[in-house]
Structure 1
Amino acid sequence: MRVTVAGVEFRSPVIAASGTFGYGVEFEEIISLDKIGGFVTKGLSREPMAGNPAPRIIETAAGMMNAIGLQNMGVKAFIAEKLPKLKQISDTVVIANVFGFTIEDCLEVIQALNDAPGIAMYELNASCPNTSHGGMVFGTDPPQLWELVARCKGASKRPLMVKLSPNVTNIGLMAQVAADGGADAVSLVNTFVSLAIDVETRRPRIANITGGLSGPAIKPIAMRMVHEVSKAVKIPVVGMGGVVRAEDAVEFMMAGATAVQVGTASYADPRAVENIANGLKRWCAAHEVAEVRALTGAALL
């Protein structure tokens, strides 16, 4: 069941996605961290952030919308308060999600994490608006994405995975830009910009007006994008977007993913990541798949 992404070995290709698994320690009494491939922390910023006002998460048909606003305790508090506990409870792979509203913000977070023990790699969130350049989202502008990735890779002492925005016309191109900038892997897709309206009040159902759509509703689009990216780059691809059962993980891997992340499913079932990892192992046994990595790119497309 082991797979390798950017030189990091995972005991399973099923990983808990950022923003849906806290800082890992919150799930220690709910699931066995040693049964999953690893997890991605909540996005870490230079300073603590309170996030957006409520309501900021709603259920939708076959999914959910959120506008949490990247609420987090800040990188320094994470290193001081969460990392020591993580080392005590598990040896699972920890991926630190990094974000910022300027490149310098991201660099400061990475530099703080570089000397912290127990982190295997970084996942760089490219879906943030670059406030120093008019608010253009890093992940939708090729030159900005390249500069972000190149400078963060230059500062990083660990492998760098770039989380791509799906809100683009050519996801393969953006993956190529990230790879050219030095990314060791890419993960996709992040949420789709969306809107929901309360027809009785005529007001948005999310206080932020728009939010990010995730869950099974986006899976077919995410699948297409993972396939396109797997053909466009030679670095590993980690797929996500509506993985709720083992067969979804198999499908993403057949489309070209080396591993998958599970996000929205954890809101409905806090044990979803472990259950999917165990289900994938059973699926492989039932289908005489000796090594799960053989599923990557195995679809007859």
Structure 2
Amino acid sequence: MREYDMVLSSSHCVAKGVLTSPSAVHICYCHTPMRYVWDHYYTYFGNGKKGVIPRFLMPVIAHYLRIWDVASSNRVDYFVANSYHVANRIKKYYKRSAAVIYPPVDCSLYTPPESHREGDYYLIVSAFAPYKRIDIAVDAFERMGLPLIIIGSGQEEDQVRKMAKKHVQCIGWQSGESLKEYYRGCKALIFPGEEDFGIVPLEAQACGKPVIAFAKGGVLETVHGIYPHLDSSAETTQKHPETPTGVFFTKQTAESLVEAVRFFEDHKNLFNPLSIRKHAESFDRLTFKEKFKQYIEKLLC
């Protein structure tokens, strides 16, 4: 990259470490510091996981990856985070400040149906990675006896399929058009993991569908969620949005998710598909392009 005056890197791991010329401006759009050596290390490699790599090699490898991760962050001139959640982690691990520009959702592809229809199933769209906590959702929906469709695949797919019995169905990855129809046809999206940002909740909301999510991470910035366990007193009013787009559960457990789903089942009238769609439109691709363009122009002035 030594021939370029400006370099934009989109990094969740190593892209920020690109070598540029001394005079170049390097702007990194950071989706997360390397999650599997920082705050998700024990999710990936702890909890008594068996094997030579998790038990013996990874502690050594992770040590040197952390050193490299911090050192390579110094090659970046300006950080842009994809959420305030990530900006805080950049500050913690790299000791750097970051502007925040939210990633884009394709509101031209993900649209509500012409006439509103309530679905007859709940939906998860996710890679089967440890920190996604799909196991919580499978456990909860098998307990409740409610239908759950899971779209995706990954390293924990065998484990999830073994847990899925009568009420949970795993159907693998789907095309964009097919995914849109699943969004349109669901009651609500289930989002049990802690994400850096999380584009899936916005895709569902772009289709006019509410989100039931674990109240941590980027989803706090993309979903106007109701907390079922809170009353409507003055000190908690700010956690009861006038135009809610979802429901939050506060413990990463099947029991907490069950409580949130049952609340949603009893309060469906609180969620307006048009309001949910309008909220998602504020994250549209055109908005993202314009904000990034303005950010770069401001740096160059």
Q: TM (normalized to structure 1)? A: 0.29
Q: What is the TM-score with the length of structure 2 in the denominator?
A: 0.29
**Which structure exhibits the higher relative contact order, with contacts defined as CA atoms closer than 8 Å and separated by 6 or more residues?**
1
